Structure 1
Amino acid sequence: MLYNAVSTLGLSKRLQTANTELQLERLRNNDEIASGKHFDVAKALGARTGQAIALRNLYDETDQTLKSTALLQGRLGTMDSALTNILSAGQDVLAAASVGLGQPSPTGSSLQVRARAMLEQVVGMLNASSGNGYLFGGVEVKTAPMRAVQGDESGLPSPIQIVQDAIAAATGGTSSPQTPAETAAAVAALDDLFATPSASPLGFEGGFYQGAPSTAPRLSARLDRTTEIPYGIQGNDPAMRDLLQGLYMLASVDTSQLPLDAYKPYMEAAVAKVSGGIEGVRDATAQLGIHRAQLDDIAAMNTTQLRILNDQLDAMESVDPAEASLRMNQLEVQIEATAAATARIARMSLTNYL
């Protein structure tokens, strides 16, 4: 005689397994309610998973571009501030030097002091840094591009001493030119000193400037797949060298002590260098302003794109709160029913069948 019977032990284990699965499903559903996202996005999207992955990759790329843009905006802002201060210092000295351009003035010694102060300010601005790198040394961002006017611990003569030595060598040993011929020789020597490359063993690159040489690649930033911004203004650019040469000429010599025929060509050469340098720095500042405006446009575009991508991803990955709540209620009813059935089976004994 055959009997169809179900083992209470087997049924109990099946109910326990089902209860465990329902509890896990409730935990996943609870996570979805808390986060607002599908627990298993790939399962929820199915065939659209590839599209979601592509959108997520584009979102990450745009977000990284936006962060890089913000860093570059900070660097360019600091560069712009430094160039503005350099222009102000150069214009201050130019105004003071132009007053006594025709003949020696008793204020020549004060002009020397002012030129020295402005020179140190310009050198300080060219050693500006942002984050962990110097701004005006080109690709050599770890080294201060400009040597201090009064020198450093390198063992080399100070930059102002290099200039004074060049003037003395050109004039036959005197600290300042005394004739038109000596002035012409001194100016020519300084022109060579501040040239790149220079015939002097202690030329501008090495004796004054220690950043990337003029032959090195310039700094630029690629903000996206199609846009690249060059922003590599360097302390050895022609405008900077002209401005520094003029300032060093005025800071190295007390022009009030020069004879008239030596004074005039010396001052004209110094003022021409300062003036030319200021014009070049002004052009560089204007170009930097164009790059900053371009950078702002790119940042605004990427911000908009990031917002659009975020909306698209939310639409694909987000869980409907009403649907998730309904599913949670259903799971709780199932869990309660399973628990009740398990409890009833646990209370059964042999007497239930007699």
Structure 2
Amino acid sequence: MTVQSIGDQARAFAMQAASSRIKTTLATLTAELSSGEVADLGARLGGNTQHLAGIESRLAMLTQLQGNADEAAAQTKAMGDALSAVQGVAEGLGQSLYLEPSLVTDSLMATRSAQAAMDLQAAVGHLNGSVGQRFLFSGVESDTVPLTSADNILAELTSRVTGLTTAADIAQAVSDWFDAPPGSNGFADFAYQGGAGGQQTRIGESTTVTLTTTALSPSIRDSLKGLATAALLDRGALAGDSNEGRKLLRLAGKSLLDNSPALIAEMSRVGYAQQVIASTRTQGDAEAATLQTARNTLREADPFATSTAINDAETRLQTLYSVIGRLSQLKLANYL
């Protein structure tokens, strides 16, 4: 009869290898139980990972689109806030200039004109706002500040109305400058520094939002026109002619009030874009949640099966240690 045996050193290496395998298995099972996902995904799916890859790819696309939607939502909210601020300033000053019966003293006229200059500066500041390093009202050139400063606008208008002696002529000159088409050295060339087209953002698989509102939009331009017209008295226009100065302020006030519906309509367009963005974000969140559930189902480890496997691995490890302990106590004297 042939007896097969191995030496003590070889047996030690064999026991060490067996212990290492069981410990590796135990570590893998513990990681699966804590993370809830299987370690060997290929074995779990039988090598067919195409469906999971499709889910992962679509989730990545949805994540990018949701990021675009979040950015567009922040941008439209800031645009709505800016337009609301401009509308509030323009309507408040317009009512004071056109409807205030006490606008008869030179000091009050000077106060209102100075207020108009400050309101123009505030309006330009709102329109020059930015979100995420993108200027809100610059159109396609979102990396460029849309408007020059209010002081530059008033300085340019002051030079253009110098020598005019009636409120009607000054109001017409200001209106012509603001309404001049591009290339005519008017507002579009001197004051507006953005682009002509609107900003387009893809926020859904088949949804794109185009924000066409810029500082060159007629309703915004007319608001600035009314504020600038009233501010010219503070820059020395019609000096010494209180009657014509009063007429100019009332013309400016009427212009601001007449433009209020158009500015509100512009705000409504931005509000509609916000509504589309919110609806698309909700749809995207729902689809992403469904896909994440499907992905988790493919990747998840059965906690009960994993716990059973852990117990089995622990039992095998304890048995191995018991065998190693008993073998380490063998002596030649006991054998003999």
Tell me how far 1:194 sits from its aligned partner. Answer: 4.4
- Looking at structure 1, the residues matched to 288 and 45 of structure 2 have their Cα atoms a distance apart, in angstroms, of 22
Structure 2 residue 197 is matched with structure 1 residue 197: no
- Looking at structure 2, the residues matched to 311 and 262 of structure 1 have their Cα atoms a distance apart, in angstroms, of 70
What count of residue pairs does the alignment treat as equivalent?
Answer: 330
TM-score, normalised by the number of residues in structure 2: 0.86
Structure 1 counterpart of 2:210: 230
Structure 1 pair 142/89, CA: closer, same or farther in 2 (3 Å)? same
Structure 1 counterpart of 2:256: 274
Tell me how far 1:193 sits from its aligned partner. Answer: 5.0
Matched ranges for 1:28-43 at <5 A = 28-43=28-43
Q: Deviations over 1:171-230 (max 9, x none)?
A: xxx3x423x8xx447614641354231423xx32453233x232xx32121012200011
State whether residues 75 and 130 of structure 1, in contact with CA within 8 Å, keep that contact through their aligned partners in structure 2: yes
Structure 2 residue 114 is matched with structure 1 residue 134: no
Q: What one-letter code is carried by the residue in structure 2 that aligns with 1:64?
A: Q
State whether residues 220 and 263 of structure 2, in contact with CA within 8 Å, keep that contact through their aligned partners in structure 1: yes
Q: Deviations over 1:92-135 (max 9, x none)?
A: 1221232279xx84343333123222212211211222232321
State whether residues 171 and 251 of structure 2, in contact with CA within 8 Å, keep that contact through their aligned partners in structure 1: no
Q: What one-letter code is carried by the residue in structure 2 that aligns with 1:221?
A: T
Structure 2 counterpart of 1:108: 109
Structure 2 counterpart of 1:331: 313
- Looking at structure 2, the residues matched to 113 and 18 of structure 1 have their Cα atoms a distance apart, in angstroms, of 90
Greater mean alpha carbon deviation, residues 25-34 or residues 2-11: 2-11
- Looking at structure 2, the residues matched to 23 and 67 of structure 1 have their Cα atoms a distance apart, in angstroms, of 43
Structure 1 pair 189/31, CA: closer, same or farther in 2 (3 Å)? closer
Tell me how far 1:49 sits from its aligned partner. Answer: 2.3
Structure 2 counterpart of 1:71: 71
* 3-state secondary structure, aligned to 1:235: coil
Structure 2 counterpart of 1:160: 154
Q: What one-letter code is carried by the residue in structure 2 that aligns with 1:307?
A: A
Tell me how far 1:249 sits from its aligned partner. Answer: 1.1
Structure 1 runs not aligned, ≥5 long = 151-157, 169-173
- Looking at structure 2, the residues matched to 232 and 329 of structure 1 have their Cα atoms a distance apart, in angstroms, of 65
TM-score, normalised by the number of residues in structure 1: 0.82
State whether residues 166 and 190 of structure 1, in contact with CA within 8 Å, keep that contact through their aligned partners in structure 2: no
* 3-state secondary structure, aligned to 1:93: helix
- Looking at structure 2, the residues matched to 347 and 260 of structure 1 have their Cα atoms a distance apart, in angstroms, of 119
Matched ranges for 1:17-96 at <5 A = 17-96=17-96
State whether residues 94 and 254 of structure 2, in contact with CA within 8 Å, keep that contact through their aligned partners in structure 1: no
Structure 2 runs not aligned, ≥5 long = none
- Looking at structure 1, the residues matched to 98 and 174 of structure 2 have their Cα atoms a distance apart, in angstroms, of 23
Q: Deviations over 1:286-327 (max 9, x none)?
A: 011111111111111122222222222222211111111110
Structure 2 residue 215 is matched with structure 1 residue 249: no
* 3-state secondary structure, aligned to 1:223: strand
